[in-house]
A and B are shown apart, each in its own frame.
Chain A
């Protein structure tokens, strides 16, 4: 009898936290109690496969298919343009920065990338190998049209 009580207590104490974890209110903090420090999630790996990805919609800035650790983009230098600038694509064989980036806000085409498009990672980002936090139910225009 005593053994059964102990077993039952152990089981219930073991089960209690999981039951709590299931019905918590969704917050950025997660199920960690306020007086505890949650452990940081692991730093995800950058997808570095150099393969072009399909865009979800025509205006989408393509994501960067390679790692860009320590790429300097400032007044002095632009590491991205060291490969993607028109003059550099011959040697680097990287895709050229689209001509739309040469336009100033009045639609005038400049000789090179317009200052307002200079900071590449304002729109173009790397991808991490992570599970999406929420489900994405985006459907592209072709799918909508074919319905």
Chain B
């Protein structure tokens, strides 16, 4: 093993005999662009609603529930797709979330929620993961669109304005503390804060 590593290092460390410095630097540069571009393209392809609903687990359960909610259909036609709420927009955070999502690939391969019954059995845990994530990042994905700074609370209903002024403005609560189950059906809420 040690011998092999040593030869590998020697090959790696030795100056090139056949290829020019120009070829190696330019080639490396172009290969870099191609690899990076491909990586980002694939990353973005996995960051679309089309990709999410290509699995029946998402298409038949959560996506079906999203339809009809205000985040899917509304008067102005602005709508949120899956990654708008479930994947951070910043690159580093996005990569971190994508790495976490490898566990979800595992779940897909082994059919953890491949029937409606299994999905319902896991629903509380799965929802809990999202609540915890949004709580930890101060509902970042909500705030990507719903920025409190630009919220005109005089245009809200009285009780919404009062609640936002009291709990959101003071930073005492974050969006997800009150707005659970706005885009999907709720799991059994026994013991959940706020229910």
Contact = CB atoms under 8 A, between A and B. Distances in A.
Interface in A42-78: 48-50, 66-67, 69-70, 72, 75-78
B162 A77 contact: no
Interface string B136-166: 0000000000000000000001110011000
B181 A77 contact: yes
B169 to A, nearest CB: 15
Contacts of A82: 194-195
- A interface residue count range (under 10 / 10 to 19 / 20 to 34 / 35 or more): 10 to 19
A50 B159 contact: yes
Contact of A72 (B68, B157, B162, B186): B186
A70 B159 contact: no
B186 A76 contact: yes
Contacts of B182: 70
B185 interface: yes
Interface of chain B, helix or strand or loop or mixed? loop
Interface string B169-195: 000000000000110011111000011
Given A70-B69, A72-B181, A77 B186 contact: yes
Contacts of A69: 70
A92 B187 CA distance: 22
A77 B181 CA distance: 10
Given A50-B157, A75-B188, 11 more contacts: A48-B157, A66-B157, A66-B159, A69-B70, A72-B186, A76-B186, A76-B189, A77-B195, A79-B181, A81-B195, A93-B162
7 contacts: A66-B157, A72-B186, A76-B189, A77-B189, A77-B195, A79-B181, A88-B194
Across the A-B interface, the 9 shortest Cβ-Cβ residue pairs: A77-B186, A77-B189, A50-B158, A76-B188, A50-B159, A48-B157, A82-B195, A76-B186, A72-B186
